[in-house]
Amino acid sequence: MNPEEVLKIIGEHKIVAIVRTQDAHEAWESALAVIEGGLPVVEVSLTTPRALATIEKLATRTRGVIGAGTVLAVSDVHKVVEAGATFIVTPNLNPDIVSAALTAGLLVGPGVFTATECHQAVELGAHLLKLFPASSAGIPAMNSLSDPFPGAKWLPTGGITLENFTDWLSAGAFAVGMGSALTRGDPERVRARAKMISTSLDNTPYMNGN
């Protein structure tokens, strides 16, 4: 799956589910529940034990679009490609990682917070700008940054909840990264949350031009 195809799916489903756990089996169950609930895009944080094995398992055994998060080294890029990831997300802007991801044919969303970082990410060719932490920046900051970077596709992450994700989408976010608000708890609850979000998005499309 090429970056354009991955980007299209993210834009259609609007949610990147972030799985970050202290147990590999829990990560698998949480990711599977999200996918079964109707949200196919899942990011497995590399801070999760056996994250690469979980990515490989999800990539080969489900119909999900699987990526890696908390990618902090160029060597990690090569590892996640081998595991079957189709995208990476980072908490910061590292030009070497962005370049390595693009060379490897991955969609990449580096973490940004300032206008300088946004400009650099756009110049590097990043597909998404991960506004992080979104809870600290706030919607007004995203809107202000959108003015000088009108073509940017925003992925606010950090503090996105069941109560506020629609506010971000209505304000122009291309999609949002949602972690514990979606993926915490037992699989049945995770699946129910995913289904609720998926159904609500089906009923209220976000035509923001991104």
Whose tokens are 């799956």? That residue is 1
Tell me the pLDDT tens digit for each residue of 152-202: 999 999 999 999 999 999 999 999 999 999 999 999 999 999 999 999 998
Strand spans (E) along the chain? 15-19, 41-45, 65-69, 87-89, 107-109, 111-112, 130-131, 176-178
Q: Which of 66, 126, 132 has the alpha carbon at shortest distance from 101?
A: 126
Catalytic residue chosen out of the listed positions 26, 29, 57, 130: 130
* pLDDT digits 0-9 by tens, 46-98: 999 999 999 999 999 999 999 999 999 999 999 999 999 999 999 999 999 99
Question: Average pLDDT of 22-37?
Answer: 98
57 in catalytic set: no
The reported pLDDT for the residue numbered 205 is 65
Which pair of tokens denotes residue 69?
A: 């998060």
Domains of the chain, first to last:
3-198 (3.20.20.70)
The predicted model scores a pTM of 0.95
Can you give 20-60 as a three-state secondary structure string? CCCCHHHHHHHHHHHHHCCCCEEEEECCCCCHHHHHHHHHH
- pLDDT score at 202: 86
Helix (H) or strand (E) holding 177: strand 176-178
Q: Please name every residue paired with 89 in a beta bridge, in sequence order, or none if there are none.
A: 109
Catalytic residue selected from 43, 56, 57, 153: 43
Question: What torsion do the CA atoms of 105, 19, 34, 206 make, to the nearest 10 degrees?
Answer: -70
Dihedrals phi, psi of 125, to nearest 5 degrees: 100, 20
Using DSSP's 3-state secondary structure scheme, residue 112 falls into strand
Task: Verify whether residue 153 is a known catalytic residue.
Answer: no
The answer for 88, left when phi > 0, alpha when psi is -120 to 50, beta otherwise, is: beta
